[in-house]
Amino acid sequence: MAPAPARTISGEQAAALVRSGMWLDYGAALTQPDVFDKALGARAAELENVKIRSCLTMRPRAVLDADPECRHFHYFSWHFSGYDRKQHDAGRCNYMPLNLGEVPDYYRRFLAPVDIVILKTCPMDSDGYFNFSACNIWLRAIVERARVVIVEVTRGLPYAHGRENGVHVTEVDYIIEGDHAPAAELPNPPPNEIDRAVARRIAAEVEHGACLQIGIGGMPNAVCTLLLESGVRDIGVHTEMLTDGIAELYQAGRITGARKTLDPGLITYTFALGSSALYAAIHRNPDFLCCPVDYTNSPQVIVQNERVISINNTTQVDLQGQAASESDGHRHISGTGGQLQFVRGAYGSPGGKSFICLASTYEKRGQRRSRIVLNLTPGNIVTTPRSDVMYIVTEHGMVNLKGKSVAERALALISIAHADFREELERQAYEHRLIPRGVSF
């Protein structure tokens, strides 16, 4: 029997489909619904124990505004934005640990079917597809596992070429007319002097024909700025997140993808967040390829490109090389994302290199503190284990920890800590026998 044709309904009619106890899914970033969310928020008093999965929330959620005590809605996130972090601090949002590239498999193997998925999409194209825009990630897996599929169409999203980057009208149960607001933007502040100092060291390691993965944050984006100033050419891109810095390199002619093994000539990514200029660069541009995250982030896929350069931020590193990139003690900040998978993929890539970067210090309660420490802050989550870390970079230097003993690691990391903390770190390292007495390297 042929599926029933999708019906166009209002946001209020769509929200009326929700029952207490259901699991809903809002997708991620640019695909999170707004009209539906507002209508569902208005029903808060009628519902109990409605659970909503999301990722990288870019606009305030009406369901949370309508239910500050979480008596009706419970919000879960695969990766925190600044908004999600504030909601977590207020007890309204809970994190779901992951390796980002594994999430499609979580939906297909480990999670119960989603009761309703509601995704913001581009209007239906001539082939009957609602394009996911610049946010493919695990959306196909959710659609496959959802009992009810609702799309909220909007003209505000860029149309993104890609693989499996849409849902066909025959798979859709209901269509909502969206508000057609422009896509949410992520501010991209200019790099500071510390960002540029770190980026300068990493940019010097990027060869002609290298294949880039750029993480979120000022330092990774600063590398793009430095590469614009260098003579590096024929850069390729196979990344999780597409950033403004990558778009600027592309528009300057530095990215050709000519030497990529996979998707030669194309910029491969799974989601984009940035400015309207980034979205304009993507819109109907066949040079950009938006793919499912189990393709972009799989180490087994990443290693097939040569000279992969993986660049990611961290917030704290201990003297053995453990990188804690997602929490401040028990306060969750962001998420594992794809950091570990790209670190491993870059290591396996012929000529590949992974860089974990951080400023050597930070300010807390008016006091300057070192980000390189003897022990991680209690409760801090290890994002990249010491066995996987390759290069660690601060404004004071760069060290490679592969093949190094604990003693060599401690000494190397102390050498790139801020000068004001090196003596104390060395004393602690000897005191706790990380460095044996009398040894020299």
pLDDT digits (tens, 9 = 90+) for 409-420: 999 999 999 999
**pLDDT of residue 306 exceeding 90:** yes
pLDDT of the residue at 2:
55
24 Cβ contact list (under 8 Å, min separation 6): 18, 50, 51, 52, 53, 114, 115, 116, 117, 118
Q: Which of 152, 171, 240, 326 is flagged as catalytic?
A: 240
pTM of the model: 0.96
Q: CB of 61 within 8 A of CB of 53?
A: no
Region 212-231: what's the mean pLDDT? Answer: 87
pLDDT of the residue at 221:
82
Is 240 marked active-site? Answer: yes
Q: CB of 343 within 8 A of CB of 312?
A: yes
Second-level CATH architecture of 7-177? 3-Layer(aba) Sandwich (3.40)
Asked if domains 7-177 and 193-431 share a fold, the reply is yes
For domain 193-431, is the CATH number 3.10.20.30?
no
Region 390-404: what's the mean pLDDT? Answer: 98
Q: In angstroms, rounded to a whole number, what is the distance separating the alpha carbons of residues 142 and 116?
A: 9
List the chain domain ranges.
7-177, 193-431
The full length of the chain comes to 441
Of 159, 153, 113, the closest CA to residue 136 belongs to: 159
**pLDDT of residue 3 exceeding 70:** no
pLDDT of the residue at 205:
95
pLDDT of the residue at 314:
96
Region 85-113: what's the mean pLDDT? Answer: 97
Q: In angstroms, rounded to a whole number, what is the distance separating the alpha carbons of residues 217 and 243?
A: 9
